[in-house]
């Protein structure tokens, strides 16, 4: 099946604290959106990419236009932009609505995971193509995790069964569209797409993630991303 990618880049970047949308923040001299778009295209999995940008953001729209022009010649990948919504789930929904119906497999990816290696895209897409309706890349959790109510610990889940979840998350397109049509999709507590399919009783399968698929969320993450890029220079 043809793969379509929804690249969500419409967040405001509150925790990074630069006062501009996170996708516009520079890292190694280029925007986080440029890095993430490049990693999506370089993976070679996508026939189409819909980039979800903040409504009215001329800078990010121009980044998408430019990438679209660069790939227009080889006709292997179509890149377009669409305006996002108030929550991540609303932004994913906007991206899904703009994806061609020929995309039977959809990968939803955070633009903030700017340095995601091609192998992660390949593992996720391959597992969906092999018949899993929902596939997520995960890593073991390194810290002990507590359940806290107020300032009191109420439980300590067994760390061995916990996983930290990354993107791209891969789905059968019809299953993902159905999940996003459900009432819970508008709940602000919806932090990823797999949980919508879990709520519908679908089996969500895991594949191995990658440390480099970390999400640039805080100023420290940006320092780490800059260092990774600097170490790559010849």
- What is the Cα–Cα distance from 96 to 211, expressed in whole angstroms? 27
Contact code string over 2-21 relative to Mg ion, x by CB under 5 A: ---------x----------
Token pair recorded at residue 71: 């790939």
225 is a site residue for ligand CTP (CB under 6 A)? no
Triad 77, 79, 81: Cα angle to 5°: 165
Q: 14: how many CB neighbours lie within 10 A of its CB?
A: 10
Q: Which is nearer to ligand CTP, 12 or 200 (CB)?
A: 12
Which conformational region is residue 39 in: left (phi greater than 0), alpha (psi within -120 to 50 degrees), or beta?
alpha
CB of 108 vs ligand CTP, minimal distance in Å = 9
Q: Out of 15, 30, 146, 163, name the contact with ligand CTP by CB under 6 A.
A: 15
Phi, psi of 32 (to 5 degrees): -60, -35
For the CB of residue 7, give the shortest distance to ligand CTP in the complex, in Å.
Answer: 8
**Interaction residues for ligand CTP, span 41-80 (CB under 6 A):** 52
Please count the residues of this chain forming the interface with Mg ion, following the rule CB under 5 A: 1
130 CB burial (10 A radius; 0-12, 13-18, 19+):
exposed
Contacting residue, 5, 8, 63, 225, with ligand CTP by CB under 6 A: 8
Closer to ligand CTP at the Cβ: 22 or 180? 22
Give the binding site for ligand CTP (CB under 6 A).
8-15, 22-23, 52, 84-88, 91, 110-112, 215, 217
């Amino acid at each position: 099946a043809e793969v379509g990618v929804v690249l969500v880049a419409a967040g405001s970047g509150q925790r990074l604290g630069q006062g501009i949308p996170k996708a516009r923040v520079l890292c190694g001299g280029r925007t986080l959106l440029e890095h993430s778009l490049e990693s999506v295209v370089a993976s070679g999995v996508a026939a189409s990419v819909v980039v979800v940008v903040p409504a009215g953001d001329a800078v990010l729209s121009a980044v998408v236009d430019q990438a679209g022009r660069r790939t227009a010649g080889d006709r292997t990948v179509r890149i377009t932009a669409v305006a996002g919504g108030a929550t991540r789930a609303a932004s994913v929904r906007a991206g899904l609505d703009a994806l061609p119906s020929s995309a039977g497999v959809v990968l939803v990816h955070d633009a903030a995971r700017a340095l995601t290696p091609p192998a992660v895209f390949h593992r996720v897409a391959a597992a969906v193509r092999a018949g899993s309706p929902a596939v997520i890349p995960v890593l073991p959790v390194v810290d002990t995790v507590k359940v806290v109510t107020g300032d009191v610990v109420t439980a300590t889940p067994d760390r061995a069964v916990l996983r930290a979840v990354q993107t791209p998350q891969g789905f059968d397109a019809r299953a993902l569209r159905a999940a996003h049509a459900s009432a819970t999709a508008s709940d602000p507590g919806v932090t990823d797409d797999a949980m919508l399919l879990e709520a519908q009783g679908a089996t969500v399968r895991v594949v191995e993630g990658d440390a480099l698929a970390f999400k640039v969320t805080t100023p420290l993450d940006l320092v780490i991303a800059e260092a990774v890029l600097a170490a790559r220079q010849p």
